[in-house]
A and B are shown apart, each in its own frame.
Chain A
Amino acid sequence: MSKIGVFICHCGENISATVDCERVAKSASEMEGVAFATDYKYMCSDPGQSLIKNAIREYHLDGVVVGSCSPRMHEPTFRRACSEAGLNPYLCEIANLREHVSWVHEKSEATTLKAIDIVKGVVEKVRRNKPLNAIEVPITKKALVIGGGIAGIQASLDIANCGQKVILIEKGPSIGGHMSQLSETFPTLDCSQCILTPRMVEVAQHPNITLYTYAELEKLDGFIGNFKATIRLKAKSVDYNKCTGCGLCTTKCPQKKIPSEFNEGLGTRTAIFTPFPQAVPNKPAIDKEHCNYYQKGKCKVCQKFCPTGAIEYDKPDEFITEDIGAVIVTTGFNVLKTDFFPEYGYGKYKDVITGLQFERLASASGPTLGEIRRPSDGQIPKKIVFISCCGSRDPAKGIPYCSKICCMYTAKHAMLYQHKVHDGESTIFYMDVRAGGKNYEEFVRRAVEEDHVNYVRGRVARVYEKNGKLIVKGVDTLLGAKPVEIEADMVVLATAGVANKGAEELAQKMHISYDPYHFFAEAHPKLKPVETNTAGIFLAGACQAPKDIPETVASASGAAVKAVSLLSQPTLVREPIVAVVNRCAPPMFSTCVGCFMCETICPYNAIEHEEIKDRRTGKVIKTVAKINPGLCQGCGTCVSFCRSKSIDIQGYTNEEMFAEVTALLNK
């Protein structure tokens, strides 16, 4: 006869307000196999847990049923308590009296009876529960970081500094990401490159980091602790072992008019190029789409001039496979281009630019060497208009969310402009100024009060060109919707931050979820902000939503800790809730007949073939299914499909579930 202990929790008043907890405990004490039953105000509290532990010792309980909140909430708590009192944790089960009873019913006789029934069902199940032990799976002690922006750099350095190996892949020819494009950073106005480039160099030199630039994730197989990543190393056409990064090729390349991505189209680059002088690695790659040799079949000027003979044409992309324990996705974001906005000229006015383009104009390494000169004629604009919320917070444009960073960088832009053009006049059209963050509000006030930036609350309806000026037509809603018209020399649009191109495809490759805007989804918006729903894959930075640098770096460090806490364990301990194929005496060995229909239905590819052999002759007697406990997620699809009922889920066996259901049905 089993000795089950039943513990009914009042959950403050959450349960006891509608359920007669005392009566439930009393009824439970009369159930077959129950040795002890009681109720308590807060079972999850320390005295509550002690109550359970003492009862286990005193009554030699061989099973525990806690009637409380959802097992999602406190199953681990109570299982730990049982384990501390010497009871196998899987002999403890939760009867969900809060979400399934008290929260969904009025106070009544029937509500209490339902609670009693649920407790009875779980008692019947626990009577048949078997002790289980956690499964240990080995862990590959290496992390993969996808994306070499500041998030990827920070995460890689943090993991590497904890002594773990990291592979960082970046699809472009250099790491650095958007942060390397920025001029100065709010709210302290320190130079972006000055604080970033030392870290880029650190990544390249760190013994624990393997950096692959011009590389993309091709495929990700496996599971937490045991991923297998196939990485495509795109052909750079330059042998980095021979190249010294002298840059001679980039001065000789005849293709000189290619718009530079790094300068957001405001400058040009050659076909063989290093994106910017501080690039890491500081070695060039050939852009095949613009290279004369790749497009027309002849040129080879770079090869002729290369002093070390490093140029190698027509090399195919390489594929490498790496065993990985954890993955951090830091693929970042992008901003909309000006051509998205018909009302602001569809991108046809050269002097209507994006905030990111303004960053390049204001940057000392930019095309104007830090002088604010407008793209059309290189004149210094005397009147400049900034328009915030371009696309953002506009459901009509399909972007209902706030891009978060624009209020701050627009204030910064206006400030930088005022610092550089002393007689200039700057106006910001805004919806709201969202300056939540340490020293952010002070920064915006400084722009208004010290640098005399003119803030106008209202939307801009139209921007058009007239006599070499850009006419900005808007309203000032704080002056009774008074129309405002400004003849500007240059207009800067704070365009919405959007998910990177290809984000959806990448998410599908890794089986992680994403939101309607293709930003990657975290497992829980508050409590699991850097985890995905796929165990072992973490997120950081602006691939989740637009984020500023401090927030990106914080999330990257957070994700790094999550990865390190996984990699630093000797083995991965998993819940033993996995499917198992039965075994029985010879000559049957197992009731599994090896039809392997479970193999086609398993969503996790966890079903393998196992040959049962005669010990003497080695002849195969039977081939049966075998479930890889490392891959099995315990979904139970194979169990329901197995015709001969040869598969059981540990902790939820046919026998246990049948007993629970029968107890619920037979009043």
Chain B
Amino acid sequence: MSKLSEKAATLLSEGTVKMIIGYEQGTERPRPAFCHKPEDCERLIFNDQCSNNLAVYLTKKEIIGEDKVGVVGNYYVIKTVIQLNRENQINLQNLVVMTVDGDDIITFGSIDEMQQYVDTHEPVPNEKVLAVIEKIDKMSRSERWDYWKSELSKCVRCYACRAACPLCYCNRCVTEVNCPQWIEPWAAPLSNMEWQINRVMHMSGRCVGCGECAAACPLELPIGILTKKMGMDIKNTFGGWKDGSVLSTYNVNDKENFIK
């Protein structure tokens, strides 16, 4: 039994938590695992392939219930927990947040510890994603418009991107507001564009950059780079993610170098 499974089994058998959310081996790649009994914990694994952002389950009452749960997540899960806490969406008292670093199991005692971990363990940026962003940056305005129109015209509006995103936790999404109907619900180039622009604006300054939206897209649309690029712009303009939500805060010392 691995150190991770042991630790998880202990937490369950001691009754500290009622459930552990972690990763197990799937058909092709690791998938989320929900352990309710100590023996379930043998399935738990943790490696570089474990990419799902498990924090998406932390705002779902029907999954985590009222009891204390543990989560063994990757870097992005930790980062998401910080953001969810900032947005009053989780109760830290009912949560044991863990990650695996080499052979060690790290259990976070506070948000500060998580922040410290996040500050020191930033993953290497995905070269492929950066290359696409660079390519799009070089396009002219009209070329860029055509590119996105063509890409997003394929969208079937399945909202998998929304479902996979741990920060899309609203009870009623803006796309479901029909009085007035701000965003048209059917799949068409313009309304798809409206949806994605809205999604990115809503994520601005909040997105942790896990890329789950893109991974969930059944049509493999490059929607992950929208939020990625927004994150980069925000970092350059307002100094980054640490300030909470850039859209809802104001600082007299904001650089404002985007106003020309």
Contact = CB atoms under 8 A, between A and B. Distances in A.
Contact of B171 (A591, A596, A597, A641): A591
Nearest to A591: B172
A644 B248 contact: no
A593 B87 CA distance: 9
A655 interface: yes
Contacts of B169: 593
A524 interface: no
A256 interface: no
Given A597-B245, A601-B249, A659 B180 contact: yes
B174 interface: yes
Nearest to B247: A641
A108 interface: no
A588 B171 contact: yes
B179 A644 contact: no
> Which among A596, A644, A646, A658 has the greatest number of chain B C-beta atoms within 10 A?
A644
B150 interface: no
B172 A644 contact: yes
Interface string A578-602: 0000000000100101111110110
A643 B174 contact: yes
> Which among A594, A645, A659 has the greatest number of chain B C-beta atoms within 10 A?
A645
Contacts of A646: 172
Contact of A644 (B89, B170, B244): B170
A645 B182 contact: yes
A574 B202 CA distance: 33
A654 interface: yes
B173 interface: yes
Contacts of A593: 89, 169-171
Contacts of A658: 180, 182
B120 interface: no
A623 interface: yes
Contacts of A598: 248
A588 B61 CA distance: 13
B219 interface: no
Nearest to A592: B171
A597 B248 contact: yes
B87 A654 contact: no
A503 B171 CA distance: 49
A641 B246 CA distance: 11
Contact of A645 (B174, B244, B249): B174
A623 B249 CA distance: 21
Contact of A623 (B88, B180, B244): B88
Nearest to A601: B248
A595 B167 CA distance: 11
Interface in B184-237: 202
B130 interface: no
A600 B245 contact: yes
Contact of B249 (A596, A600, A659): A600
> Which among B170, B179, B202, B244 has the greatest number of chain A C-beta atoms within 10 A?
B170
Nearest to A623: B88
A528 B18 CA distance: 66
A109 B172 CA distance: 46
Nearest to A662: B180
Contacts of B105: none
Contacts, number: 54
Contacts of A623: 88
Nearest to B66: A619
B173 A644 contact: yes
A378 B245 CA distance: 70
A588 B87 contact: no
Interface string A600-625: 11000000000000000000000100
A660 to B, nearest CB: 10
B88 A595 contact: yes
A657 to B, nearest CB: 8
A645 B177 CA distance: 8
Contact of B88 (A594, A643, A644): A594
Contacts of B173: 644
A594 B245 CA distance: 14
Contacts of A641: 247-248
A588 B172 CA distance: 9
Interface string A627-667: 00000000000000101111000000011001100100000
Nearest to B249: A600
B244 A600 contact: yes
B108 to A, nearest CB: 22
Nearest to B87: A595
Interface string A35-62: 0000000000000000000000000000
Nearest to B205: A597
A658 B184 CA distance: 13
A423 B182 CA distance: 88
B126 to A, nearest CB: 27
B194 to A, nearest CB: 14
Contacts of A645: 174, 177, 182
Given A601-B248, A643-B174, A654 B88 contact: no
Given A588-B171, A594-B88, A595-B87, A654 B180 contact: yes
Nearest to B170: A644
Interface in B76-101: 87-89
A150 to B, nearest CB: 38
Contact of A643 (B89, B170, B179, B244): B170
Contacts of B177: 644-645, 654
Contacts of B174: 643-645
A64 B11 CA distance: 67
B171 A644 contact: yes
B183 to A, nearest CB: 10
Nearest to A637: B248
Interface string B234-260: 000000000011011110000000000
A655 B179 contact: yes
Given A596-B88, A645-B177, A591 B248 contact: no
B184 to A, nearest CB: 12
Contacts of B202: 643
Contact of B170 (A591, A596, A654, A655): A591
Contacts of A597: 87, 245, 247-248
A645 B172 CA distance: 9
Nearest to A643: B202
A541 to B, nearest CB: 32
Nearest to B173: A644
Contacts of A655: 179-180
A655 B180 CA distance: 5
A265 B258 CA distance: 54
Nearest to A593: B170
Contacts of B172: 588, 591, 644, 646
Contacts of A595: 87-89
A349 to B, nearest CB: 45
6 contacts: A588-B172, A591-B171, A601-B247, A601-B250, A644-B172, A655-B179
CB-CB nearest 6 A-B residue pairs: A658-B180, A597-B248, A595-B87, A601-B248, A591-B172, A644-B170
Interface of A: 588, 591, 593-598, 600-601, 623, 641, 643-646, 654-655, 658-659, 662
Given A597-B248, A644-B170, 4 more contacts: A588-B172, A600-B248, A643-B170, A644-B172
